[in-house]
Structure formats: C-alpha cells, structure tokens
Chains A and B, each alone.
Chain A
Amino acid sequence: MKKLSEENITVKKRSKGERIFSYFNTVFLACVTLVFLLPIWHVFCASASDPAKLIQARGLLLKPAGSITLTGYRLALKNGTIIRGYLNTIFYTTAATLIGMFGSAAAAYALSRPNLMWKKPIAFILSFTMLFNGGIIPTYLLVRNLHMLNSIWAVILPGCLSVYNILVMRTSFQALPEGLIEAARIDGAGHMRILFQIVMPCSKAIIAVITLFYVVTHWNSWFHASLYVDGQHRELYPLQLLLREIVIMNSQSALELAGENGALNLGKELTKYAVIVVSMLPMMVVYPFIQKYFVSGVMIGSIKE
C-alpha cells in the first residue's frame, strides 16, 4: 500500500515537460515496435497469399495479396526434402543441445567448486578460446582429418559447447549457498548426484536460458553444415541450409526435388515464404516464455573471474 501511494505522488509531481515526453515516448516506441514487426508480418502475409497476386505485389504486405490460400503450406508439407531437412534440424538441435547442456553443466559445476587447485588454469584454458582461435580453415581441416566430413557429427560437434555459456552458468552456480552442497557431501552424495538433484533444480532460470541459447544457436545454424556437408549428401542438410538454397541462392532445386512439375512455378514463391514461417515459428513461440530470465544469461560479470 505504501509503495502504491508513493508512486501516486511521483506521478503527480511529474512536470508538464515530462508528461509530454512520456506521451511522445509511448508513440515513438509504438512506431519502433512496428519496424520490428512489419517485416515478419510481411512474411506471414506472403505465405498465405494468392500465388499469382503475390508475384505482382510490391512493397510491404500488410494483408495477404489476393484471397487467403494455404497452398504454400500444402506444397511445403508435401515436399520430402523439406520435411527431411526439418526433421534433421530437430535431431541436430536436440542432440547438440543435450551434449552442450551436459558438458556445460558439468564444467560449470566443477569450476564453481571452491577448493579446486587447478580451477584458474582450467578456466583460463577455456576462456582463452574466446580471445583467440584457429579460424575457419584449420577447423575445417581438423574435421576433415577426423574423417567426419559428411557425417552428422560434423554438424553436431563443432560449436556444441560454448565457453560463454559455461562461465555464465558457473557464476550462477557459485551464487548458491555452499552449505547446501556441503551438507549433501556429508550425507554421502556424489558430485554428479549433487549436480543433478540439488544444483540444477535450484538454478532453473539459468538452465532455461542456457538451454534456449543452445537451442536457438543450433536451430538457426547453417554455416557448419555448409562447410562440412557437401551437395552429394543433401539428406544430411538441416533446414536452414535448404532455406539458403531457396531464399538466398534462389535455386529452386530443393523445391523441385519434390517431383512436382512446372505448373507449380507460381507456387514456388509461396512455398518459400511458407517454409520461412515454418522454420522460424518454433523459436518465436518459445522465447517469450523464457524472456524474463534473459537477464541472468547476459550477466557480463561472468566473464571476469
């Protein structure tokens, strides 16, 4: 109650200039919101447009061109290559995120233990990779020399552990009361058990954020796959790599592989937008739920020891 009345007073105290500013600020931010939303809205509209009208359309679509059709989605769902790519993406994302989360949680927990003699050197070994790296070519040669080209491991393993995520998690684990862990130790619990039954359940926010970070990275990634998987192994392509062919290189081969004939030429543009929508929908739906935890995932203090 007290807080409420205080707020009332400050509202009353606001000067005329401040009220005008507040008004303009609200309007301005509404415009900014539109700038973020409209391009995405355009894609949604395009994906549900009439194919013939869509090709003639200019500028930004505020509503589907012509009558609403779901042809694009139907074509996309009938397309074996795209379905395969989608399933691949789901598989890669799940596998890489699981590996990443297990590795990161274990490393973060270990580095958060206070009495570890080699803690600092190990943290340095990990952090240094953020400052200096071998670059694209030596990494490519490594994957090649490991005979992993054109395998699922070439897509999953490189980049499945992020130092940044480990350090952010460590900071979060360090904030837990040490007594909690010591008590469990005295009761005879092993470190693994402490990690999974005490530390992780107590750090739901950070687990959620880091999981989201990994999921988004892998879901949207295309570059590793483009480096390590060649055109003869298209059955390994993640969706984003197919999207690059369709959207960027404007090659319709991915769409043509469906075995559809030339009469569907018009539908290709439509299918393109439908695939884009289907590809970005899962991330768009998920992130707002975890949004309130984002702050804990960007704590920059984590980088500093």
Chain B
Amino acid sequence: MKKEIKKYQKPFKERVVRDFKMNKAVYFMLLPVIVYFVVYHYVPMAGLIAAFQDYKIKLGYFHSHFVGLKHFKRFFESIYAWRLIKNTFLISIKDIVWSYPLTIGFALLLNEVRNKGYKKFVQTVSYLPHFISMVVVCGLVMDFCKKGGILSIIVSFFTGTESSLLSEAANFQGIFVGTGIWQGIGYGTIVYLSAISGISPELYEAAKVDGAGRLKQTWHITLPGILPTVVIMLILRVGSIMSVSYQKIILLYSPAVYETADVISSYVYRVGIAEGAEYGFSSAVGLFQSVVNLALIIIANKISAKITETSLW
C-alpha cells in the first residue's frame, strides 16, 4: 500500500519512463493496432477537411482551395436536404418502433419454451438470415417483390392487383424495415436471452410463492430485469439513427423510388463515388451526418444516465 502511494507521488515524467520500461513489450503489441486505427480512422477524420475545400485529387488536401461553408450551404439549400433527412429519420424510427418490441417479444416467447431441443432448433434457424450476405438478401427481396414473386402475390390478395412492389415509392420503407427484421430479429434476441438468463432464479421462486403466474412473472421480473440491456441497446441504436444501412439501400433502390428511399449516406455515395466525383461536397454531407450521429449518441447517453442510471460511459 505504502509503495503504491509512493509510486503515484513520483513526478509524471519518471512514471512514464518507468511504465514504459516495465511494459515495453505490451506497448509493442499495441503499436500495430494503434497505427492501424490512426491510419484508417483518424486520417480520414482529418480528411474531413475536404468538406471545407474545393477538393481536387491533383491538388490534394494541402493545395485545394478553402471554400468555407459553401458545400454545407449548397446542401441545405438544395431540394434534397429535407428529403434525405426525412427519409433517414423515418426509416430509422420505423425500424426502432417495429424491431425493438418484436425482438424483445420473440426473446420472451423463446424463453417460455420448455423443451430445450426445440428452443435450440428455433434459435438456430432464427440466426440463419444473419449469416446470409446483404447482396443475397437483397437479391431475394427483389425476387419476391417482382411480379409473380411471393410477396407480390400476398399483397395482391389485399389490393387485387399484382404489381412490382419495389418500383413503387410508397412501399420502399416498409419493405426495407420488414426484411431488416427478418434478417436481424433472431440474432437480436441473443442479447436479451443472455440478460434473462442473468436474472436470479430466486426472484421467480419468490414470485411463485406469492402466487404469480408466468404472465405476472414476465411483467414484474423478466421485463424489469432486462431493462438495462434494453436501454443500452436503445442508446446504441439512437446513436446510429443517421446511418441507415446504406449498403442495403444502394442494393435495393432505383431512381423511381429515390423519393422515399434515398438517405443521406446513399446520397453521399452517389454524389461522391457512383455518379460524380464531388469529393468536397459529399464529404460535407457526410460530415453533417457524422456530427449529428455523435450528438445524438451523447444526448441519448446523458438522458439514459439520468433516468435509468444505465449508460455507455
């Protein structure tokens, strides 16, 4: 103990030297990883300077002209800004509203299965879509949504006419969110099932003694027991509201449905890479997205820390 205090009283420089001498090998193990993150994550962050430049490949970051907030002005004054922000938020919010209750509900139902073999079988099958690539999933979605596809046939029972579902703007968000749930719900239950298994069995015993049935036990013990997990998952999700899975959007959308399908990141991709090479402008739009994302996750974390005492950091 005495030694510990003495160590901390040493001047900073001495401590650094000592720490390095003691842990040299450990720092060398970390070095490649740190270099990797600096190169592949921090250099691009610095590269966001392009958002304020009229970036030209030939001139690079050091010689391109600074244009201040020109790109941001152009974006927010364009007809796209509102549409992109609206679509991004709408898709994310629809996803949260549907996939959260469904995933938690699915986990609760799985938890009620008494036959272990059956439970494991259902779980295994429900994880399957998670391991299928986005390209294949989107290929299937397109297959099922075209005329004569199964989804199209099912919808025609209600509407009377069979149509190509993906080419109508009104359908896109529903299809996007629905297939996302298909792909993610099973895998999403893992977190909740592990939280449920962490609840003390004594609580259930006590509830049984008090005469609570399964439903009451679920309501009064299981749900409060997994609340911290639910909150953490929500904070994480809110923090990525702005980053809708653009890979899936890019695979599924077409100009006919841009009106409801185009989100900020898919627009960035289109303007910056796929159709144009407006690096400065697209960096600016991307920066806007990243900043809002960061702000959202900080706010969500603050609110959660205050209300539920659960927080990410």
Other-chain residue from B37, B125, B273 in contact with A136 (beta carbon distance below 8 A): B273
Other-chain residue from B41, B132, B153 in contact with A59 (beta carbon distance below 8 A): B153
Interface size on A, residues (CB 8 A): 94
Q: Which A residues, 73 to 89, have Cβ-Cβ distances below 8 Å to chain B?
A: none
Quick one: which of B44, B129, B239, B290 has the most chain A CB within 10 A? Answer: B44
Apart from A35-B182, A43-B140, what are 20 other A-B pairs with CB-CB below 8 Å?
A10-B208, A21-B214, A58-B153, A104-B33, A110-B30, A115-B23, A129-B41, A132-B293, A138-B283, A141-B47, A142-B47, A220-B135, A222-B134, A223-B247, A227-B273, A287-B131, A295-B190, A300-B191, A300-B233, A304-B311
Closest to A57 in B: B148
Q: Within the assembled complex, what's the spacing in Å between the Cα atoms of A108 and B32?
A: 13
B binding-site residues for A, Cβ under 8 Å: 15-16, 19, 22-23, 25-27, 29-30, 32-34, 36-37, 39-48, 50, 55, 57, 60, 106, 109-110, 112-115, 118, 121-129, 131-136, 138-140, 142, 144, 148-150, 153, 182, 186, 190-191, 193-194, 208, 213-214, 229, 232-233, 239, 247, 251, 265, 268-269, 272-273, 279, 282-283, 286-287, 289-290, 293-294, 297, 311-313
Q: Which residues of B contact A60 (CB under 8 A)?
A: 150
Q: Are A32 and B122 in contact (CB-based, < 8 A)? A: yes
Q: Within the assembled complex, what's the spacing in Å between the Cα atoms of A30 and B208?
A: 29
5 smallest CB-CB distances across A and B, nearest first, come from A134-B44, A138-B47, A247-B139, A220-B133, A135-B286
Q: Which residues of B contact A243 (CB under 8 A)?
A: 133, 135-136, 139
Q: Are B132 and A280 in contact (CB-based, < 8 A)? A: yes
Q: Are A110 and B153 in contact (CB-based, < 8 A)? A: no
Q: Are A137 and B50 in contact (CB-based, < 8 A)? A: yes
Q: Within the assembled complex, what's the spacing in Å between the Cα atoms of A192 and B122?
A: 41
Given A122-B30, A248-B139: A216 in contact with B37 (beta carbons within 8 A): no
Q: Which residues of A contact B194 (CB under 8 A)?
A: 295, 298-299
Q: Are B273 and A140 in contact (CB-based, < 8 A)? A: yes
A55 → chain B closest CB, angstroms? 10
Q: Are A138 and B44 in contact (CB-based, < 8 A)? A: yes
Other-chain residue from A126, A157, A240 in contact with B133 (beta carbon distance below 8 A): A240
Chain A, residues 30-45, CB within 8 Å of chain B (1/0): the string is 1011011101101100
Q: Are B283 and A137 in contact (CB-based, < 8 A)? A: yes
* Interface of B: prevailing SS: helix
Verify if A22 is at the interface (C-beta below 8 Å from B). yes
Verify if A232 is at the interface (C-beta below 8 Å from B). no
Q: Are A59 and B150 in contact (CB-based, < 8 A)? A: yes
B87 → chain A closest CB, angstroms? 18
Q: Are A144 and B125 in contact (CB-based, < 8 A)? A: no
Q: Are A142 and B40 in contact (CB-based, < 8 A)? A: yes
Verify if A117 is at the interface (C-beta below 8 Å from B). yes
B50 → chain A closest CB, angstroms? 6
Other-chain residue from A10, A191, A220 in contact with B25 (beta carbon distance below 8 A): A191
Closest to B137 in A: A39
Q: Within the assembled complex, what's the spacing in Å between the Cα atoms of A223 and B140?
A: 18
Verify if A113 is at the interface (C-beta below 8 Å from B). yes
* Interface of A: prevailing SS: helix
Q: Are B37 and A125 in contact (CB-based, < 8 A)? A: yes
Q: Which residues of A contact B153 (CB under 8 A)?
A: 58-59
Other-chain residue from A17, A22, A247, A283 in contact with B213 (beta carbon distance below 8 A): A17
Q: Within the assembled complex, what's the spacing in Å between the Cα atoms of A272 and B214?
A: 48
Q: Are A36 and B286 in contact (CB-based, < 8 A)? A: no
A267 → chain B closest CB, angstroms? 17
Q: Within the assembled complex, what's the spacing in Å between the Cα atoms of A199 and B46?
A: 36
Q: Are A115 and B22 in contact (CB-based, < 8 A)? A: yes
B55 → chain A closest CB, angstroms? 8
Q: Which residues of B contact A166 (CB under 8 A)?
A: 33
Closest to A10 in B: B208
Q: Are A36 and B32 in contact (CB-based, < 8 A)? A: no
Q: Within the assembled complex, what's the spacing in Å between the Cα atoms of A134 and B290?
A: 8
Other-chain residue from B33, B182, B186 in contact with A161 (beta carbon distance below 8 A): B33
Q: Within the assembled complex, what's the spacing in Å between the Cα atoms of A273 and B13?
A: 64
Q: Are A158 and B26 in contact (CB-based, < 8 A)? A: no
Closest to A112 in B: B26
Q: Are B45 and A291 in contact (CB-based, < 8 A)? A: no
Chain A, residues 89-132, CB within 8 Å of chain B (1/0): the string is 00000000000000110110111010111100010011001011
A152 → chain B closest CB, angstroms? 16
B156 → chain A closest CB, angstroms? 11
Closest to B132 in A: A280
Q: Within the assembled complex, what's the spacing in Å between the Cα atoms of A286 and B41?
A: 31
Q: Are B273 and A39 in contact (CB-based, < 8 A)? A: no
Q: Are A138 and B45 in contact (CB-based, < 8 A)? A: yes
Q: Which residues of A contact B27 (CB under 8 A)?
A: 110, 118
Q: Which A residues, 1 to 59, have Cβ-Cβ distances below 8 Å to chain B?
A: 10-11, 13-15, 17-18, 21-22, 25-26, 28-30, 32-33, 35-37, 39-40, 42-43, 57-59
Q: Are B125 and A138 in contact (CB-based, < 8 A)? A: no
Closest to A190 in B: B25
Other-chain residue from A11, A15, A32, A113 in contact with B23 (beta carbon distance below 8 A): A113
